Amino acid sequence: HPFLHTAIVEKKKIYYNKKQANVKGIYEKKNNNRKDCNIMKRIGLLTSGGDCQALNAAMRGVVKGLSNNVDGLEVYGFFDGYKGLIYGKYRLLTSGDFSGILTKGGTILGTSRQPFKLMREPDENGLNKVEAMKQTYYKLNLDCLVILGGNGTQKTANLLREEGLNIIHLPKTIDNDIYGTDMTFGFQSAIDIAADVIDCIHTTASSHSRVFIVEVMGHKVGWLTLYAGLAAGADIILLPEIPYDIDKVVEAIQKRSKDGKGFTILAVAEGAISKKDAKLSKKEYKKKIESSKYPSVSYEVADLIIKKTGIDTRVTVPGHTQRGGSPCPYDRVLCSRLGAEAAQAIIDGDYGNMIAVKASKIVRVPLEKVAGKLKMVEPDSQIIKEAQFMGISFGN
């Protein structure tokens, strides 16, 4: 009977909440003697989602800022992103762990992708992941959990904030698509790599009079493709936000040939989409991609260019190299600044924020205002207009 079912669910909820309160209480009692130990801050660190350059630099920034200003610090590192928090895989880190990592790529903690939409679903053994994360947090009696990650990670960070945990989020991603910050760390380092690839392609494209497509990372947004393309002088830039018409792309190539330019460089985002495909429903588009003979959009564009122009066209995909290697100096500075401000926020006891950059200032932005939003390239923004003014084609 539906009423009976509701009553049982409610009873279970009350029981579970009581149990949780109890768990929290036990750990609070257990940790009450912390004051005698002269420990002032005990924090957790985790890196989640796809990695990028400067994750280590950012963690180092937080820890340096804290250890330099608080009287006693304990830092727990959770391994492989939220997995470490869910399954209690962590280690008490020492100052040695943060030494020499400013320039080190990857993440000393490891990372994994834990989709936000599955966070409320039990795992394969029926474990309630959110409750498990809360228990780990309370068991360690953390003052704050510092979470480094992109959009999905931020949504889970906000969920944990809503569940009552003290959270600080640091905006990481080569995609630069986190709403509420002008810049994410990893972005500038990835631009350097993608632009280097396009630079190298330039010389060989010119020798062979070929069309070259460099496929840049970014499924949903085109910031990286736009910046790398501009930085390396791409002639045509295709972004997810500006659906292309293949005939316009061909027109731009032919115009260059007519002007005596023997080669053309295209910077194409992984998520670039044709005007025709943009009209498909999500389901129809997914079906098209699954049954496509092309490994990615760039190969389809290349095939069509060859068919329509007869020009030899090649594709280069730098892929995950764009997330690898040392952070560039810009990212090292950015992460030191974000880390310092995160440390200050922890000292202030000001939680629930993303530490962001706004007009060159480091600021605290409430997670509730930004979680779930995406920062996309606006097709009529100043930077797009400037590029078009210079003759760069967006295939539209």
State the Cα–Cα distance between residues 66 and 50, nearest whole angstrom: 26
Residues 19-48 within binding reach of ligand F6P (CB under 6 A): none
| Count of residues that interact with ligand F6P, criterion CB under 6 A | 11
State the Cα–Cα distance between residues 54 and 56, nearest whole angstrom: 5
Q: Write down the H helix ranges in 232-269.
A: 246-258
State the Cα–Cα distance between residues 62 and 292, nearest whole angstrom: 46
Residues 298-317 within binding reach of ligand F6P (CB under 6 A): none
| Residue whose C-beta lies closest to ligand F6P | 217
Residues forming a β-bridge with 91? 77
Residues 336-395 within binding reach of ligand F6P (CB under 6 A): none
Q: Which stretch binds ligand F6P (CB under 6 A): 13-21, 212-220, 294-302, 343-351?
A: 212-220
Q: Which of 41, 43, 46, 50 binds ligand F6P (CB under 6 A)?
A: 50
Give 218 or 352: the residue with its C-beta nearer to ligand F6P. 218
Catalytic residue (choose from 80, 97, 175, 177): 175
- C-beta separation of 186 from 52 below 8 A: yes
If one asks whether residue 189 binds ligand F6P (CB under 6 A), the answer comes out as no
Q: Which of 254, 264, 256 is nearest to 208 (CA)?
A: 264
- C-beta separation of 137 from 333 below 8 A: no
Give 65 or 150: the residue with its C-beta nearer to ligand F6P. 150
Q: Least CB distance from residue 300 to ligand F6P, whole Å?
A: 17
If one asks whether residue 238 binds ligand F6P (CB under 6 A), the answer comes out as no
Give 270 or 300: the residue with its C-beta nearer to ligand F6P. 270
Q: Least CB distance from residue 27 to ligand F6P, whole Å?
A: 35
Active site residue 182: no
If one asks whether residue 218 binds ligand F6P (CB under 6 A), the answer comes out as yes
Q: Which stretch binds ligand F6P (CB under 6 A): 5-13, 78-86, 103-111, 170-178?
A: 170-178
Q: Which of 74, 175, 241, 331 binds ligand F6P (CB under 6 A)?
A: 175
Q: Which of 19, 30, 120, 219 binds ligand F6P (CB under 6 A)?
A: 219
> Percent helix, strand and coil across the chain, each rounded to 5?
50, 15, 35
3-state secondary structure (DSSP) of residue 267: strand
Q: Which of 41, 218, 51, 66 is nearest to 148 (CA)?
A: 51
Q: Which of 383, 380, 389, 387 is nearest to 237 (CA)?
A: 387
Q: Which of 270, 300, 331, 341 binds ligand F6P (CB under 6 A)?
A: 270
Residue 65 in tokens: 């800022």
Handedness of CA 261, 382, 333, 72 (dihedral sign): negative
Residue 352 in tokens: 């629930």
Residues in touch with ligand F6P (CB under 6 A)? 50, 113, 150, 173-175, 217-219, 270, 323
Residues catalogued as catalytic:
175
